[in-house]
Structure 1
Amino acid sequence: MVGVNTELERLVRGESHDPWQVLSWHPQGNEWVVRVFVPGAARVSLRDDSGVTYPLDAGTYEGIFERRFALRFEYVVEAEFRDGSREVFRDPYAYCESFLTDFDLYLFNEGRHLELGSRLGCQRTSVSGAQGWNFAVWAPNAVRVSVVGDFNRWDGRRHQMRSLGNSGVWEIFIPDVPEGSRYKYELRASSGEILLKSDPYGRRWEVRPNNATVVGGVSFAWDDGEWRSRAARKKIHEEPMAIYEVHLGSWRRRNGSFLTYRELAEELPAYVADMGFSWVEFLPVTEHPHDGSWGYHTTGFFAPTSRYGAPEDFCLLVDRLHRAGIGVIADWTPAHFPRDEFGLYRFDGTHLYEHADPRLRDHPDWGSVIFNYARKEVRSFLLSSACTWLRDFHLDGLRVDAVASMLYRDYSRPEGQWVPNVYGGREDLDAISLLREMNTEVYRTVPGAFTVAEESTAWPMVSRPVYLGGLGFGFKWNMGWMHDILHYISLDPIHRKYHHRDLTFSFLYAFSENFILPLSHDEVVHGKRALISKMPGDWWQKRANLRLLLCYQYCHPGKKLLFMGSEFGQTGEWNHLDQVEWHLLQHEEHRQIRDFVRDLNTTYHRLPALWQNDADQSGFSWIDCADADASVISFLRKGCSPDDFVIAVFNFTPVPRHHYRIGVPLPGVYREILNTDSSLYGGSNTGNRGSVTAEPVSRHGRPFSVSLTLPPLAGILLSPGREGTGVRADG
């Protein structure tokens, strides 16, 4: 009896780690005693299946009610509170079975669980015929953990959870909780501090600025089976990828508010398909509290943000994109998380998900904190998050943000403010191990899925397989290319010949990784100006330079990415609080840029030479990279067939160049299949009247050559013996 009283005291104080020891039915001699704990109740009764009601006696401790019976029976609790309100509910402590298996806990504690999104958090289940929700959370250093919510008056004494051995996981099954109820976890830290935390594994959240998690799962009838089946068979590196990068909250707005997932599902797939893009990449759609973070300060790693609608509505958007033939990538942020008091930071009163040492914990650039990648349960958390988005939400790819900050312990830190690894180096060995494991598991468990690294250093083999010593990513953003070309293209053309290396250097390492060439959101904010506004010269030259830049991007080895608004020459910087400058399409010059991008995408997708060997040196060869004085370069892009090639020639000055001769591989007619200076796009219509014929005049080490007219600030594409696309220039 002493043990019972001690446990009851803990329960009433809100310090119990196993209320099942004293609540519901327990044998006492030849009888059974039943106890329920309903703080604030004046009277409590039990009602059996036949409708008979049995009043309980108030126990020694406040809120405890009990009675002895000869036999056990199933019951519901009827409670009358001092304020006159009444509640009828099934007693959660009458259900002893654990939703989590020993194998779940083993994998979780070993850092190898990939399906925590369907095991921890709030999960719909049935126990002994009772329908309800199982709640489970990791908080190994807490004295007590409770579920609080709309269904229990947010009283942390009502639904105290059970600690599952040494796993650090707490669990409770609560019957009959209405779907859509708000809930959090109330934790008593070892210091006595009471913490109120949202569910790290929650699939549904309140709309910000509120931050409770919401009871419910995700149920959606997918109709993208054909897409998923094709994706599993594709060799993604040998496929065209023209990616349209989108921030969902500012792509388009209506009445001052952003579109919902459902509204986006009606508009975005049609627009992307019409523009000829084959992929979209979303800035983070994981739940986040602050609009100004653009989603990169994630608090809900398993939930699509509720600001645009329900999780099923997000599924609808992905489904519609797939049915339109468009792949879906989303940004994912395992590098750090914010310090919001309701989130992961100091989750159980200790530095649980993050490092304790501020030299390892605090991110100097963003004011956020860094995950402790050495902790196995944190690894399970992140691995499960990645797999959840790819498996359950049908994303095709994840772009992992800020990989460089994960790889290096001294990232953005001055001397003396970082901790070397066990070998004295600056590499974060635990982060490296996590990234390798994450990539391995993604490719193993989700057919057709891939990962992309935003990695800005020269770390080797980022997109090479783990078994070869790489990090295992499918692709890497080519940040070096981006910085070089944006610096080059912003120069006055008269100075470009002195910076020719910026134009050609990226080809030296173009095949060292599986690159994506990004012209992303990062380059059109914070005073960097919109893409077209970076261009030198008058308005005509700015538009010509933009067309030239995009044509160069599409011909350079690597997959393509363009941020929204740039496809029609948005002039203002991106503002996440406003929509893309669609009003500019009232003007013909912007419609011409849009038409150019549409035709560029069409041309790109129908020419395998521009994408089939993106990651192979055999897909590229120079014709001439040395004409710095004229700021002209020319090269071949080659497909798998020997006669499948495209010639790309670029003139980065406003000077038309007549009779410009370049070497070509074969005799015959070469069709001008794209000319960025076409009058259709607002150009001067200087060109080669649709075709040129090779002559037996050797040039650039080749037995044949063609004499070209190079339009000003323009690129042209030539193909042997093919019909033009209607987008040539006839000057």
Structure 2
Amino acid sequence: MSDASLPLPLDHGHLQLLATADLARPDHLLGAHVTTQGGVEGVRFAVWAPGAQHVSVVGEFNDWNGFDNPMTRLDFGVWGVFVPGAAHGQRYKYRITSAAGQTEDKMDPYGAWFELRPDTGSVVWRPDFTWTDATWLQRRTQGFDQPVSIYEVHVGSWARRDDGWFLNYRELAHRLGEYVTYMGYTHVELLGVMEHPFDGSWGYQVTGYYAPTSRLGTPEDFAYLVNHLHGLGIGVLLDWVPGHFPTDPSGLARFDGGPLYEYADPRKGFHQDWNTYIFDYGRNEVVMFLIGSAMKWLQDYHLDGLRVDAVASMLYLDFSRTEWIPNVHGGRENLEAIAFLKRLNEVAHHMSPGCMIIAEESTSFAGVTTPAPFGLGFDYKWAMGWMNDSLAYFEQDPLWRKYHHHKLTFFNAYRSSENYVLAISHDEVVHLKKSLVLKMPGDWYTQRAQYRAFLALMWTTPGKKLLFMGQEFAQSTEWNHDVGLPWHLTDHPDHRGIMNLVRRLNGLYRSRPDWYRGDKRDDSLLWLSADDTEHSVYAYMRRDAESGNWSLVVANLTPTYREHYPVGVPQGGEYRMVLSTDDGEYGGFGTQQPDLMARGEGWNGQTHHLRLNLPPSTVLVLEHRGETPLSEAR
């Protein structure tokens, strides 16, 4: 993590690169860097504050005296000073006097580490960590034709110590790594990692864009977490928030006494819903600040990807507002933000090969995963439409589902338009939305049966997978960021059954090319029965054109048992049950199938058909027995 060539010189050429948006790692120029000048060890400080009339650095090295270490104004609004004797581990701030004569102490925008909240001091940090994941980094890819099953984790509440305090990143590494390996996920996605002042923001109101939160340890501790997970074959993604930042006076807000990182006009620069400022994507230095943050995590911390938060709020000037300023063409699109996102993705893929950049984008904006410059250049987009439709369907009383039948088939009409992640995230289990299992109608047994069916449909639908922590064992309470997950529930058979199912689904998903390859191909899913609205039964095939593998998925989404239900198949002969969500191992009744031999009469446009017993609220997955059995991790 250390680089002896840093910092870059504060000369005209390098400062100009920042001002012209040609410096992808501005943290190599700005911030606090332990270095030597004239044979004297110390720290060089540099900060961008073009509107300030005076800046000094204060800290433990000068007893927080604003007169000892005034900074020199350099080109392009950058201030710098070398402080002899200042050292790694010392706290500091920038004392900035605005053009109006007001003085305020500010955190370092490029700070590598910070004091534990509620304190807001930056900490001089010279990281020292030895990585052992070179083979992982060389082999990783964006995973377009690979299984990608993501476990979304809030690091502060996945688990807590007995005294209620956070786990250290190193403790988390071993406990989380063991669990994710057992459950069969391919990736973890971490939220709440970048430094933030307010726990209740879940890490989405960031003040330290270059620093892991000190709540869980040092930068080396965080590096250990990533390195350890890579050693277990687990990819690590990070939630990243370039859309807005908090109004805390110690942070980026009105940094040099006026709007600097944010747009000046509140109609463009202030989020009323979130009480946050919006980055000014028209300023080169702001664009470089954000891209530099992304590259810090991808390069220095070896992250395998970023999930970019709230992209829709960046794309539209009228997002959640009644007063807004049109762009130069009179439209609602934020052209500067669009240009920034394209640049971000181009730089990230060039400088961090194999990384995934994922958009949380909730509208039908075209070309989100089309390569830049023709599209935004993301690798994946969260399938918000699929999520909304699927949950809306399952929340219906089964009696009325026939009137909403095509909510579950509509995704197939557009799923090949983008590279999608089927995401059931933290947003769906907070703010009185209830946990996923309790969204299902009926009594406790019926809720669990429907939830098992929902999960099986999610894993057998084209698209990568993401499930928020706790939902893999049917947590029955909403997520609470202030406490650890209720792990005691996993000792109860009802919850253990759901965990067994998710583990089984991950094992099948990783072993069956027909479940993960060709997600964006139209022929990877063939509907056999999409219109049986009266019975709320669905049937489709998942297919992999390359290997010829295919499987049959049949869902009965009412509490009614259906005997000898006909389903068309393309081959005669014997079939085997790959999965039944009604199995006793998962908390079901274990309904048996008396006959899995396909008859010669055609059905659903296929040459043969099976007669299946469909248990209530159940998904069945079958394969033709004549094919070579696939390995199945249990």
Letter in 1 for 2:50: P
Are 2:500 and 1:602 equivalent residues in the alignment?
no
Give the structure 2 partner of residue 269 of structure 1: 177
Please identify, of 503-512 and 633-642, the stretch whose mean Cα deviation from structure 2 is larger: 633-642
Which residues in structure 2 correspond to 1:636-715 (within 5 Å)? 636-641=541-546, 643-688=548-593, 692-715=596-619
- Where does residue 87 of structure 2 map in the other structure? 178
Distance across 2 between alignment mates of 1:420 and 1:309: 44
Q: Match for residue 450 of structure 2?
A: 545
Q: Describe the superposition over 1:180-208 as per-residue Cα deviations: whole angstroms up to 9, x where unpaired.
A: 11000011111110121010000010000
2-side partners of 1:235 and 1:99: how far apart? 35
CA contact (8 A) 1:524 1:530 kept: yes
Answer yes or no: is the 8 Å Cα contact 2:55–2:79 preserved in 1: yes
Cross-structure match for 1:64: none
Contact 1:112-1:379 within 8 A present in 2 as well? no
CA contact (8 A) 1:113 1:383 kept: no
CA distance in 2, matches of 1:711, 1:727: 25
**What does residue 36 of structure 2 align with?**
126
Whether 1:251 aligns to 2:158 is yes
- The alpha carbon displacement at 1:586 in A equals 2.5
- Residue deviations 1:401-458 (CA, integer Å, cap 9, x gap): 00000000000011xx100111111100000000000011111110111200001111
Matched letter for residue 375 of structure 2: G
Q: Offset of 1:174 from its aligned partner?
A: 1.5
1:723 CA displacement = 4.5
Counterpart residue identity of residue 203, structure 1: A
Given the alignment of the two structures, is residue 419 of structure 1 paired with residue 419 of structure 2, yes or no? Answer: no
| Residue equivalent to 2:388 | 483
> Is residue 99 from structure 1 mapped to residue 99 from structure 2 by the alignment?
no
Offset of 1:303 from its aligned partner? 0.4
Q: Partner amino acid for 1:213?
A: S
**Secondary structure of 2:147's match?**
coil
Is the contact between residue 157 and residue 481 of structure 2 (CA under 8 Å) also seen in structure 1?
yes
Separation of aligned partners in 2, 1:486 and 1:599: 22
In 1, distance between residues paired with 2:13 and 2:25?
Answer: 12
The Cα offsets for residues 25-56 of structure 1, whole Å up to 9 and x where unpaired, read as: xxxxxxxxxxxxxxxxxxxxxxxxxxxxxxxx
Q: Are 1:430 and 2:336 counterparts? A: yes
Q: Could you tell me how far apart the structure 2 residues matched to 1:581 and 1:725 are?
A: 33
Paired amino acid for 1:572: T
Given candidates 434, 442, 449, the residue that maps to 2:355 is: 449
Q: 1:604 offset after TM fit, Å?
A: 1.0
Measured after TM superposition, the shift of residue 122 of structure 1 is 0.6
Deviation of the 1:725 alpha carbon: 8.1
1:698 maps to a residue whose letter is G
SS in 2 for 1:143: strand
2:508/2:632 contact within 8 Å kept:
no
Residue 502 of structure 1: aligned partner = 407
Structure 2 residue aligned with 1:353: 261
Tell me the distance in 2 between the aligned counterparts of 1:522 and 1:168: 40
Match of 2:4 in 1: none
- Check if 1:156 corresponds to 2:66: yes
Q: Distance in 2 between the 1:289 and 1:693 partners?
A: 62
Matched, 1:215 2:124: yes
Deviation of 1:235 (Å): 5.1
Match of 2:207 in 1: 299
Aligned length: 625
The one-letter code matched in structure 1 to 2:126 is: G
Tell me, yes or no, if structure 1 residue 281 matches structure 2 residue 160. Answer: no
Q: Which amino acid aligns with 1:440?
A: E
Q: Distance in 1 between matches of 2:597 and 2:223?
A: 52
Counterpart of 2:137 in structure 1 is 228
Q: Are the aligned partners of 2:515 and 2:542 in contact in 1 as well (CA < 8 Å)?
A: yes
The one-letter amino acid paired with 1:717 is V
> Quick one: which amino acid aligns to residue 464 of structure 2?
K
User: In 1, distance between residues paired with 2:203 and 2:360?
Assistant: 16
Question: Match of 1:177, SS?
Answer: coil
**Following the alignment from structure 1 to structure 2, what is the Cα–Cα distance between the partners of residues 470 and 651?**
39
Determine the C-alpha separation between the residues in 2 that align with 1:640 and 1:501. Answer: 26
Equivalent residues of 1:121, 1:201 under 8 A apart: yes
Question: How far apart are 1:464 and its partner, in Å?
Answer: 1.0
Q: Using the TM superposition, give the Cα deviation of residue 575 of structure 1 relative to its aligned residue in structure 2, in angstroms.
A: 0.3
Task: Give SS of 2:417's match.
Answer: coil
* Distance in structure 1 (CA, Å) of the matches to 2:561 and 2:45: 70
Aligned AA (2:108): D
Question: Percent same amino acid at aligned positions?
Answer: 47
1:616 to 509, 521, 543: 521
* Residue 561 (str. 1) matches residue 470 (str. 2): no
Query: TM-score, normalization: structure 1?
Result: 0.84
Q: Structure 2: how far apart are the matches of 1:134 and 1:487? A: 56
Q: Retained in 2: the 8 A contact 1:137–1:171?
A: yes
Distance 1:169 1:607, change over 3 A: same
Mark the CA change 1:727 to 1:653 in structure 2 (over 3 Å): closer, same or farther: farther
1:189 correspondence with 2:98:
yes
How many angstroms apart in 1 are the aligned matches of 2:487 and 2:99? 55
Whose RCO is larger (CA < 8 A, sep 6+)?
2
1:694 CA drift (Å): 2.1
Q: Does the alignment pair 1:242 with 2:152?
A: no
Q: Paired residue for 1:10?
A: none
Q: Give how far 1:258 is off.
A: 1.8
Secondary structure of 1:406 counterpart? helix
| Residues 473-482 or 122-131, more deviating | 122-131
Give distance in 1, aligned partners of 2:453 and 2:395. 12
User: What is the distance in 2 between the residues matched to 1:604 and 1:178?
Assistant: 50
Deviations 1:481-525 (A, max 9, x none): 111111111111111111102111111111111000111100000
Which residue identity lines up with residue 63 of structure 2 in the other structure?
A: R
How far 1:664 moved relative to its partner?
A: 1.4
In 1: Cα distance, 2:345 partner to 2:181 partner: 29
Q: Is the 8 A contact 2:511 2:633 kept in 1?
A: no
C-alpha distance in 2 between matches for 1:712 and 1:450? 39
Q: Which of residues 462, 483, 497 is equivalent to 1:578?
A: 483
Query: Which residue identity lines up with residue 223 of structure 1 in the other structure?
Result: T
* Secondary structure of 1:511's aligned partner: helix
| Residue 312 (structure 1) aligned with residue 216 (structure 2) | no
CA contact (8 A) 1:687 1:710 kept: no
Whichever of the two has the greater Rg, that structure is: 1
Question: What is the Cα deviation at residue 687 of structure 1?
Answer: 3.8
> Secondary structure at 1:117's aligned position in 2?
helix
Question: Following superposition, which runs of at least 4 residues in structure 1 exceed 6 angstroms of deviation?
Answer: 724-728
Distance 2:272 2:284 in 1: 25
Q: TM-score, normalised by structure 2?
A: 0.96
Q: Which one of 357, 361, 369 corresponds to residue 463 of structure 1?
A: 369
Conserved? CA contact 1:328–1:395, under 8 Å: yes
Matches of 1:672 and 1:542, distance apart in 2: 23
Query: Structure 1 residue 98: deviation in Å?
Result: 8.1
Change (3 A) 1:173 1:98: farther
Code of the residue aligned with 2:119 in structure 1: it is N
Q: Which residue of the partner structure matches residue 423 of structure 2?
A: 518
Q: Aligned-pair distance for 1:726?
A: 9.0
Cα contact 1:551–1:676 (8 A) shared by 2? yes
The alignment yields a C-alpha RMSD, in angstroms, of 1.6
335-344 or 668-677, larger mean C-alpha shift:
668-677
Cα distance in 1 between the residues matched to 2:55 and 2:251? 15
Are residues 1:409 and 2:314 paired? no
Structure 1 gap segments, 5+ residues each: 1-96
Assess, with a 3 A threshold, how the Cα gap between structure 1 residues 628 and 642 changes in structure 2: closer, same or farther: farther
Q: Give the letter aligned to residue 308 of structure 1.
A: L
